[in-house]
Structure 1
Amino acid sequence: MIDLTLYDPFEKMQFTDTNCFLCGTIITTEHRAPVFAEWLQDKYNLQNKELLLLDKSVSTFSQLSIPCCDRCHTHYLLPLEADVQQAAENGVEGLRALPPKRLFQWIGKMYYGSLINELIKEANPLVMPEYAVSEDPKMLGKFRSFYQVLQSLRVPMEFHDFLPCSLFILEVAPTEDNLPFEYQDELTTMSFSVKLGSAAIVCTLLDNGIIRRALGKLHQITENKPLHPIQLAEFKARVFYAAYIFSVVPEYFIRPVKPEDDHLVLDTLIDDVTNEIFNPWDMTAYAHMLEEMLKPWSIRETEILQNPAQPLSFILDADNNFKPMEHFAKQV
């Protein structure tokens, strides 16, 4: 008989090095799984690349790991990584051919792995974070909802007519691309991006695809175009900012389970009657987000907002059509 019982670590705030992150089984501190898979570290030589955590401590890609029992590691994580590794070997087309639910699980595992490290560290931080995740009931509720759908990695689960995220898979032109790997995440807005060679994945978790629909035209005109790295940076800024102003948290409901069922079916509901889906767009806040993404090109907020009615764009021309770009030359 298939066990369809979900694990909920948030009920007792069970975030320790001795509970498997995926099923809650009691384990020893030696039972760990890498947040970033070994194939990813090997392919892009990430082992000693540094990561700054919220408590200001520094980790590396190879050091960042999560408590994980042997069963979950063997039966769920390794097959997931094998699927994504095989897809990534075929670039953009390979990743687009992978079931979106599988990519959601892969991204979710890395995102949640980073979150778990933050929650464990908050029990004994190097420097207390300005905004402790474990002390914010709203954020904990959001993470709890996310963990419910991430359990699809362990418990057979069907999402009925929705995917719990917005996924964008983009192609990066090789001409001025000198970063084979790039990773960014934003814990509170649940935004994520990872670049694997010429393929870039940008994702907003726990929005049920709403941001993908909201940015439909932008996605449509960029989906089959090779983007200059600066265009990819702008695309990420638009997605990350949309996640920043996204103001609702979906609720998920498990349909009653019958004795013969071999999987769970989840429905979803978003309260768009009493709540606005997005907070108002603030051009200055967006410009600040874009400035952060454009740091490698030293483009400042004043330049972005030179025409406040139409902020600087490398993707769209004045008529909102795609602007092909092979080379970037900064205007003096």
Structure 2
Amino acid sequence: MPVKPYAPFDAANFSNKLCFLTGQTLQSEEERVQVFPQWLMSMYGLEDKPFKLLDESMATYKDIKLPVASAVNETYLEPLEAEVEAAFKSGYEAVKALDELKLFQWAGKLMYGIIFNEIQVGIRQQRAQGEEFTMSQSIIHKISHLHLMLQTINLPVFFEEFKPYSLFLFKVDNNQEEFGYRDEINTLTFSLRIKDFGLILCFQDNGANRNYHHEILGKISNHTLHPIQFEEFSGRIYYSNYLFNRLPEYNMLPVADELYIEAMPLRGFSSKPLFDHWQNKTYGQVLENFWKNWGFLLLEIIKNPEQPMSFLVDANGNFRDRSTIDLPC
């Protein structure tokens, strides 16, 4: 009998009474887990820090939770969490040794947890105004596929000879006290900079962003980065994922009791490039935001509109070693 994944968007049911991963009815309101795991919150004292939601309302990190059946949590989520926790606490080399799929699952659960809470806020707001909750079809398309892919955690669901994501991992000379987290829901982009590493994920581009940045990756991949260099590369990824103009489509291939997800070609029937045209002024605005810690302004960043400021490469396009950067970490 083919496995049947849970599809919450089909019934638009985002109740705390149902397990987010399986859809089964929960026994109590206590069956919930922290979206930001307790070990991570404890490392950086995040529990009571403010977390801004899309509607500009404020929650705390510890307020953001996901409903999950106790058995599902114990059997599938806790072992994943324990493995990622051990790697993250050890640092870059241990994270690099982790199975990429587990990083995708862990970060995807966190990203989906934030989205789940955002949806709940949206439902409450629109109901209070006597309106039905609506979301754009493109967002539903992306998030529903992300949820399907998260069920590789608990079901025999497999990717058929492709990766649905671009994953970037770097060793970074971080300030050990700093917790650097960022996400962008519309493009399903995630980044985390802690300990001695930085991690970026584009959850649903089928590797397109990794291919798009192959030249710069070839220059920087084997180097330890200064935090401003990691943030610069993050800015490039967040901007290019915004320029990515495809909605990936997938075929579901049941085989016995397993389900295989097959990616349709991104080019499809369109001759249009996968990415819209790169605009340095817009990219400069992204960098200004990513470089807030160092106070660089847009006018400085795009003083030369043809060659925006860079700490990753010099004027000749060669990698800049972090030792040449005289800025605080």
1:256 CA drift (Å): 2.9
1:178 CA drift (Å): 5.4
One-letter amino acid of the structure 2 residue matched with residue 55 of structure 1: D
Contact 2:159 2:262 in 1 (8 A): yes
Contact 1:167 1:201 in 2 (8 A): yes
Normalized against structure 2, the TM-score is what?
0.92
One-letter amino acid of the structure 1 residue matched with residue 311 of structure 2: F
Question: Map of 1:203-222 to 2, 5 A cutoff?
Answer: 203-222=201-220
Match of 1:12 in 2: 11
Match of 2:253 in 1: 255
Contact 2:32 2:69 in 1 (8 A): yes
Question: Map of 1:1-332 to 2, 5 A cutoff?
Answer: 4-27=3-26, 28-125=28-125, 134-174=134-174, 177=175, 179-258=177-256, 261=257, 263-272=258-267, 273-274=269-270, 275-326=272-323, 328-329=325-326
Separation in 1, partners of 2:51, 2:323: 31
1:327 CA drift (Å): 6.2
Separation in 2, partners of 1:56, 1:30: 27
After superposition, the C-alpha distances for 1:5-61 in whole angstroms (9 at most, x for unaligned) are 200000011111111110111123221111011121122222122210012221122
Separation in 1, partners of 2:68, 2:208: 32
Change beyond 3 A, Cα 1:161–1:303: same
One-letter amino acid of the structure 1 residue matched with residue 300 of structure 2: E
One-letter amino acid of the structure 1 residue matched with residue 228 of structure 2: I
For 2:10, what is the secondary structure of its paired residue? coil
After superposition, the C-alpha distances for 1:85-112 in whole angstroms (9 at most, x for unaligned) are 1222331111111111110000100000
Separation in 1, partners of 2:219, 2:326: 23
1:81 CA drift (Å): 0.5
One-letter amino acid of the structure 2 residue matched with residue 285 of structure 1: T
Contact 2:176 2:195 in 1 (8 A): no
Contact 2:3 2:155 in 1 (8 A): yes
Unaligned 5+ runs, structure 1: none
Separation in 1, partners of 2:208, 2:161: 13
Separation in 1, partners of 2:189, 2:266: 21
Separation in 2, partners of 1:133, 1:243: 27
Change beyond 3 A, Cα 1:291–1:143: same
One-letter amino acid of the structure 1 residue matched with residue 112 of structure 2: Y
For 2:284, what is the secondary structure of its paired residue? helix
For 2:11, what is the secondary structure of its paired residue? coil
Separation in 2, partners of 1:283, 1:327: 25
Separation in 2, partners of 1:170, 1:39: 22
For 1:10, what is the secondary structure of its paired residue? helix
For 1:122, what is the secondary structure of its paired residue? helix
Separation in 1, partners of 2:41, 2:141: 32
For 2:85, what is the secondary structure of its paired residue? helix
One-letter amino acid of the structure 2 residue matched with residue 315 of structure 1: L
Normalized against structure 1, the TM-score is what?
0.91
Change beyond 3 A, Cα 1:179–1:305: farther
Deviation beyond 6 Å, 4+ runs, structure 1: none
For 2:123, what is the secondary structure of its paired residue? coil
For 1:255, what is the secondary structure of its paired residue? strand
One-letter amino acid of the structure 2 residue matched with residue 115 of structure 1: I
One-letter amino acid of the structure 2 residue matched with residue 323 of structure 1: R
**Aligned residue pairs: how many?**
321
Separation in 2, partners of 1:133, 1:320: 49
User: Which stretch has the larger CA shift, 280-289 or 319-328?
Assistant: 319-328
One-letter amino acid of the structure 2 residue matched with residue 91 of structure 1: G
User: Which stretch has the larger CA shift, 241-250 or 215-224?
Assistant: 215-224
For 1:320, what is the secondary structure of its paired residue? coil
Unaligned 5+ runs, structure 2: none
Change beyond 3 A, Cα 1:92–1:178: closer
Contact 2:311 2:325 in 1 (8 A): no
Change beyond 3 A, Cα 1:111–1:47: same
1:151 CA drift (Å): 1.5
Change beyond 3 A, Cα 1:134–1:79: farther
